[in-house]
């Protein structure tokens, strides 16, 4: 396909997707020709049977730009060029917000459907790369858990890694972080992702300006990020609970949750106040209440302990205000709570250890909030965290257990794709190159499975990987699932 045909096809796809109108065709073509350093144009008829999609066409254009020395053959340079091209085809934030508001007046889901599709069509959501992820569900004692091996984020090439190491250190404070509103339309630079085609929806949450965007690498359906207009650290408090409830009130088909606000149990970005949400039902949402209790000061609130590997208090009420006050009481009590028998200490000196991972949703017309109790204490035996995946499961998952994992979706490293194939080979008695840290697991599986065939080996490994993830969550649970642990959990909730 010639470069002119590539340009024409991209513009045709953009018109079909509704990114631009037919009246924008000439303008868009000229702006893209300018980016390609082309001063002339040759009309070529597009082929409707051609299967190329927008990401494919962008790859072709980017390769042309590299071949003709328009950009360097570096990952970030190519990302910036691709985003620059799509920026020509995406409306300005004011137009998008106006359209979103128009759809919202009709129905909230219609508004998010519009913005989600736009974020995909604009290639901000990396649909082609996301399709490479390995995803499936496995049965567990807690319902069907989601397993994802994340292959969507491409590795930086060695040339760029070497360049970044030799680049002089600059005081790069704009944007302050990857979640700041200033990323909207930002060109990008070496070491900071391209955001020229990035757009945000303006929200009002409990009287504060917040932003709605989608994750470029969605881990589940309509995986969105809700971020404060102000760059400030994350903090779990009453105001945060209130914003979560306001969000699900405005978008009742979405859930919204926050990572915890302490190291080890928190998310990857604690410097910017933000939440994650989306249109997806996680296993934790489907989990049942296994013990109910009363909150004496909040008779309008139903409360219970959820059957889940981590320690979850679920609150439900038709009154947002009552639920908010009840959630605040749980948080205040938990932050000060110690139970040495359960290895729970609220403080070491002046250092706090207890916090909460909250998740809000609407259920049958009522407000619901899951409060996942977290503790980030360490000791000599568990230097990465007492309530963190223990060392014997680090070969599968040793990173922080954040909001997404808490709810039952394992986001596992790309290395496992090849490593699990080697595990399968070992179970089949074939030649293999199993990583040393998987060898104890392989030996355990060999002892337990006597009839492994090429037909069932993949299913066996998937099932056992799910069991490992279930163990990961049990390790992160503050009150363990045994009798002693559940008695300790009941001691805590009986205080309400």
- Burial category of 430 from C-beta neighbours within 10 Å (exposed 0-12, middle 13-18, buried 19 and up): exposed
Q: How far apart are CA 446 and CA 428, in angstroms?
A: 9
Q: How far apart are CA 396 and CA 329, in angstroms?
A: 36
Max alpha carbon distance in the chain (Å)? 77
Chain mean pLDDT for the chain: 95
233 token code pair:
């650290």
Q: What is the pLDDT of residues 416-438, one digit of tens each?
A: 999 999 999 999 999 999 999 99
Q: How far apart are CA 371 and CA 369, in angstroms?
A: 6
| pLDDT at residue number 171 | 67
Q: How far apart are CA 95 and CA 220, in angstroms?
A: 27
Which DSSP letter does residue 125 get?
A: S
Helix (H) or strand (E) holding 276: strand 274-278
Strands 255-257 and 224-228: unpaired
Q: Is 296 helix (H, G, I), strand (E, B) or coil?
A: coil
Q: How far apart are CA 449 and CA 300, in angstroms?
A: 51
Q: What is the pLDDT of residues 366-410, one digit of tens each?
A: 999 999 999 999 999 999 999 999 999 999 998 889 999 999 999
Q: How far apart are CA 255 and CA 474, in angstroms?
A: 23
- Let me know: does 372 contact 387? Beta carbons within 8 Å: no
Q: How far apart are CA 296 and CA 104, in angstroms?
A: 39
Q: How far apart are CA 131 and CA 345, in angstroms?
A: 43
| pLDDT at residue number 156 | 64
Helix (H) or strand (E) holding 100: helix 93-106
Rounded to 10 deg, the angle between the 3-17 and 108-121 helix axes is 180
Q: How many CB atoms lie within 10 A of CB 434?
A: 18
| pLDDT at residue number 169 | 66
| pLDDT at residue number 44 | 85
Q: How many CB atoms lie within 10 A of CB 267?
A: 18
| pLDDT at residue number 70 | 98
The pLDDT tens digits along the chain (496 residues) read: 799 999 999 999 999 999 999 999 999 999 999 999 999 998 888 876 677 899 999 999 999 999 999 999 999 999 999 999 999 999 999 999 999 999 999 999 999 999 999 999 999 999 999 999 999 999 999 999 999 999 987 666 677 777 776 777 666 789 999 999 999 999 999 989 999 999 999 999 999 999 999 999 899 999 999 999 999 999 999 999 999 999 999 999 999 999 999 999 987 789 999 999 999 999 999 999 999 999 999 999 999 999 999 999 999 999 999 999 999 999 999 999 999 999 999 999 999 999 999 999 999 999 999 999 999 999 999 999 999 999 999 999 988 899 999 999 999 999 999 999 999 999 999 999 999 999 999 999 999 999 999 999 999 999 999 999 999 999 999 999 999 999 999 999 998 9
Rounded to 10 deg, the angle between the 75-88 and 25-35 helix axes is 160
- Let me know: does 366 contact 301? Beta carbons within 8 Å: no
For the chain, state the CA radius of gyration.
25
Q: How far apart are CA 269 and CA 278, in angstroms?
A: 19
| pLDDT at residue number 359 | 98
| pLDDT at residue number 173 | 84
């Amino acid at each position: 396909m010639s470069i002119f045909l590539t340009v024409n096809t991209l513009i045709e796809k953009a018109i079909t997707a509704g990114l631009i109108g037919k009246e924008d065709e000439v303008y868009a073509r000229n702006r893209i020709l300018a980016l390609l350093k082309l001063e002339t144009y040759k009309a070529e008829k597009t082929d409707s049977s051609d299967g190329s999609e927008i990401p494919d066409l962008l790859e072709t254009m980017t390769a042309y730009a590299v071949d003709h020395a328009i950009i360097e053959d570096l990952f970030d340079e190519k990302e910036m060029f691709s985003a620059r091209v799509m920026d020509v085809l995406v409306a300005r934030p004011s137009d998008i917000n106006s359209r979103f508001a128009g759809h919202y007046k009709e129905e909230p889901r219609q508004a998010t459907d519009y913005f989600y599709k736009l974020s995909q069509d604009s290639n901000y959501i990396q649909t082609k790369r996301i399709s490479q992820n390995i995803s499936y569900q496995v049965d567990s004692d807690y319902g069907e858990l989601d397993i994802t091996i994340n292959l969507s984020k491409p590795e930086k090439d060695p040339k760029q890694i070497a360049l970044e190491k030799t680049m002089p250190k600059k005081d790069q404070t704009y944007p302050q972080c990857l979640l700041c509103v200033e990323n909207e339309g930002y060109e990008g630079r070496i070491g900071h992702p391209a955001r020229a085609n990035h757009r945000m929806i303006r929200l009002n949450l409990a009287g504060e300006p917040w932003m709605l965007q989608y994750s470029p690498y969605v881990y589940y359906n309509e995986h969105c990020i809700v971020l404060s207009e102000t760059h400030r650290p994350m903090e779990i408090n009453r105001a945060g609970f209130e914003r979560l409830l306001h969000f699900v009130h405005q978008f009742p088909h979405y859930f919204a949750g926050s990572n915890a606000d302490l190291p080890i149990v928190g998310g990857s970005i604690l410097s910017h106040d933000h939440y994650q949400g989306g249109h997806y039902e996680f296993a934790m949402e489907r989990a049942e209440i296994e013990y109910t209790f009363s909150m004496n000061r909040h008779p309008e609130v139903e409360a219970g302990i959820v059957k889940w590997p981590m320690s979850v208090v679920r609150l439900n009420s038709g009154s947002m205000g009552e639920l908010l006050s009840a959630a605040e009481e749980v948080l205040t009590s938990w932050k000060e709570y110690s139970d040495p028998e359960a290895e729970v200490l609220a403080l070491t000196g002046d250092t706090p250890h207890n916090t909460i991972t909250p998740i809000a949703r609407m259920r049958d017309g009522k407000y619901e909030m899951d409060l996942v109790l977290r503790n980030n204490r360490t000791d000599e035996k568990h230097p990465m965290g007492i309530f963190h995946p223990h060392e014997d499961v680090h070969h599968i998952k040793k990173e922080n257990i954040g909001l997404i994992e808490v709810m039952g979706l394992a986001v596992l490293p790309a290395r496992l794709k090849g490593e699990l194939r080697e595990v399968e080979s070992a179970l089949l008695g074939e030649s293999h190159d199993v990583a040393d840290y998987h060898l104890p697991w392989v030996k355990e599986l060999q002892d337990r499975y006597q009839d492994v065939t090429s037909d069932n080996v993949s299913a066996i490994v998937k099932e056992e990987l799910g069991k490992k993830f279930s163990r990961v969550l049990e390790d992160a649970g503050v009150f363990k699932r045994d009798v002693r642990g559940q008695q300790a959990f009941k001691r805590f909730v009986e205080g309400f």
